[in-house]
Amino acid sequence: MTALVAPLPVRRMAPAAVPTFSVIVAAFQAAETIGEALESALAQTLPPHEIIICDDGSTDDIGGAVARFGERVRLLRQEHRGPGAAKQTASEAASGEFVVVLDADDTFHPRRLEALGEAAAARPDLDLLTTDALYEVDGIVVQCCYGSPSEFVTKDQRRAILERNFIFGAAAIRRVRLLDAGGFNASLGRLDDWDCWIRLLLAGSFAGLVNEPLYRYRVRRGSLSFDRAADLRQEVRMLERARTNPHLLPDERSLLGHSIRAARNSALSAEAEEAVRHALPGRRRLLASLAAARGIPARRRLVAISALVAPRLAAGRLRRREPHDRLFEPAIRQEQVVNHCGRVRDRTSSSGSRSSSSSLP
């Protein structure tokens, strides 16, 4: 069996039967890519219980793209409401013991469900299971999701999930626990997975990692988003929603407040950086707010003050070091090497660890 990284069990337990897996696919404008995703789900050494696709209001021919699979897949349709809503619709329609997320752009390794099944049978106390993944940019693998197994937290997962999302998003979730926790939030465009993991872990669930890259997470240059400020503002809203969770303990509430302040400061820093780089109106106000913000590291505060004094110099420095250029360095050099030192920015949701650091020099 592949190595499983997970919290120690709270009691001895006998192995359980391998559960059934419903593969759920949220699809929006994915007619060109969904065929390969479905082929990978159907090619599993442990066949899925079912494959459910939720078309999230696409205007392309998603029906035609999946027609060749016949009764091997089930296609649901809804008005466009976002990936969280599509995953929730598919989860509610599923009948497997676990639902397994597959993005319409991505593929499973043939052994992914088998490995997840072995892990679920060995540790029936785990309600949330994921695997490592390969990140691929324009057909070239650039890195793994987890640089080392230690990046997947096993001690005090409740507190850890309030600080960062350490669970890769294409996970297998025990369906009963998922629905009991409220499922995927339709109002969150990018962070529905992290929000869901917070609610599951605070409600008493535990998560495990199959330490093998059994998922291929694909991005294309044209589909990547570099609006860090918008991503971080949404992170703030998602974490603020967690304040109302009835399972939060007093010390966890304090930790959550710290995480919200850190995300808020990172959003402010990203906004200020963008305003300085492009000489946008309001940049002096943003820099002043950043310089005065509580909890800002001293170096970043000094940078903000320097940019207030010499905005043209700061703008020139930022333009010379566009932060997203570094993402594509491995692909540009045609190096098909897994780089363990960083992460490709998520194209639709926050998967793996978040980064709250600023690109201000």
CATH number at residue 169: 3.90.550.10
Find the domain containing 57 and state its range. 4-223
* 35: pLDDT strictly greater than 50: yes
Do 183 and 275 have their domain in common?
no
Amino acid identity at 123: R
Same domain, yes or no: 209 and 232: no
Q: Residue 353 falls within a domain, yes or no?
A: no
Q: Domain for residue 122, yes or no? A: yes
Q: Which two tokens stand for residue 73?
A: 């897949």
Residues 112 and 212 in one domain: yes
Look over the chain and give the mean of its residue pLDDT values, rounded to a whole number.
Answer: 84
Asked if 84 and 179 sit in the same domain, the reply is yes
Same-domain pairing of 121 and 240:
no
**Lowest mean pLDDT, pick from 9-23, 34-48, 261-275, 297-311:** 297-311
- Residue 137: closest CA among 222, 76, 197: 222
**The predicted structure's pLDDT at residue 316:** 66
Structural domain contains residue 266: yes
Residues 184, 252 share a domain: no
Per-residue model confidence (pLDDT) at position 175:
98
Q: Is the pTM above the cut of 0.75? A: yes
The CA dihedral of 281, 282, 286, 288, to the nearest 10 degrees, is 120
| Same domain (yes/no): 258, 122 | no
Rg, Å, the chain Cα set: 21
**Residue 35 belongs to some domain of the structure:** yes
**Cα 108 versus chain centre, distance:** 16
Do 8 and 108 lie in a common domain? yes
pLDDT band for position 313 (cuts 50, 70, 90): confident
Query: Do 130 and 271 belong to one domain?
Result: no
Tell me, yes or no, whether 162 and 293 share the same domain. no
- Total domains in the chain come to 2
Q: What is the pLDDT of residues 194-226, one digit of tens each?
A: 999 999 999 999 999 999 999 999 987 655 445
With 80 as the cut, is the pLDDT of residue 296 above it? Answer: no
